Amino acid sequence: MMVVLVTGASSGFGRAIAKKFGENAHKVIALARRKDKLESLQKEIPQCEILSCDVCDKEGLKQSLETLPKDFKTIDILVNNAGLALGIEPAQMCDFNDWERMIEVNITALSYLTHLVLPQMVERKNGHIITLGSIAGKYPYPGGNVYGATKAFVRQFALGLRADLAGTNVRVSDIEPGLAESEFSLVRFKGDKERANALYQGSNALQPQDIAEAVYWVATLPKHININTLEMMPTSQSFSALRVSKA
């Protein structure tokens, strides 16, 4: 039995990950802003504590962790899932507030929570930090700009942690999905349902459950195995030629 903290647990990947661990008799701490969604998730997981908190609220985050009951306090696995993309416009047309928000959630909040949770893992010589990166952190595409750059940070942060944590037995893994069906596109397209649905239509995209399976597999491998990065795409998604703009 492990204690697993999942951020962004109210929907999509986070919810599926929380459920996967919960259904397998692990203790889940589900963290997200939307309390009603967390409460409905809690009903589906036998041992679940909910933390209704904005992952960007440093003080709130710290205090929330302190309120956890004793048997949930020692976190074995941190799943840094909360993250978002905002906009798909070329850089010169983007709203800088969107860029700042992505940096705040995908980079600052993720690093802060990791910084908060890591010392007790090192002390116990046991733990696993799992980050949700993206193929966008590795393969640039038009409109990916800051989103892709934040996910490149996530990947390199995870690998850097591996280097720092040598000899501590603490594992670090970056899961890097491609096109996956969730609220992700609705958020990216600022609530434009038609555009979000059109993206997934006919694409046979990855499902939150697929990502949850990958996270669970990585987390439950024998302790001597560390998956550094795990890149996954729907079979329908692949690479295209580099563009050449002609005069």
CB of 114 to ligand 8X3, least distance (A): 19
For ligand 8X3 (CB under 6 A), the number of binding residues is 5
Residue 20 vs 188, nearer CB to ligand 8X3: 188
Which of 178, 195, 227, 229 forms a contact with ligand 8X3 (CB under 6 A)? 178
CB of 218 to ligand 8X3, least distance (A): 17
- Does residue 179 touch ligand 8X3 according to CB under 6 A? yes
- Does residue 186 touch ligand 8X3 according to CB under 6 A? no
CB of 136 to ligand 8X3, least distance (A): 4
- Does residue 145 touch ligand 8X3 according to CB under 6 A? no
Contact segment (CB under 6 A) with ligand 8X3 among 43-51, 113-121, 134-142, 210-218 equals: 134-142
Rounded distance, CA 232 to CA 209, Å?
13
Assess whether 147 carries a catalytic annotation: yes
Active-site hit among 112, 147, 200, 216: 147
Contact segment (CB under 6 A) with ligand 8X3 among 12-20, 118-126, 128-136, 218-226 equals: 128-136
The sign of the CA dihedral 191, 142, 150, 218 is positive
Which of 5, 55, 135, 218 forms a contact with ligand 8X3 (CB under 6 A)? 135
- Does residue 16 touch ligand 8X3 according to CB under 6 A? no
Residue 134 vs 173, nearer CB to ligand 8X3: 134
**Three-state secondary structure string covering the chain:** CCEEEEECCCCHHHHHHHHHHHHCCCEEEEEECCHHHHHHHHHHCCCEEEEECCCCCHHHHHHHHHCCCHHHHCCCEEEECCCCCCCCCCHHHCCHHHHHHHHHHHHHHHHHHHHHHHHHHHHHCCEEEEEECCHHHCCCCCCCHHHHHHHHHHHHHHHHHHHHCCCCCEEEEEEEECCECCCHHHHHCCCCHHHHHHHHCCCCCECHHHHHHHHHHHHHCCCCCCCCEEEECCCCCCCCCCCCCCC
Rounded distance, CA 188 to CA 112, Å?
24
Residue 127 vs 234, nearer CB to ligand 8X3: 234
Residue 64 vs 106, nearer CB to ligand 8X3: 106
The residue ranges that bind ligand 8X3 (CB under 6 A) are 134-136, 178-179
Q: Give the residue numbers annotated as catalytic, written as ranges.
A: 147
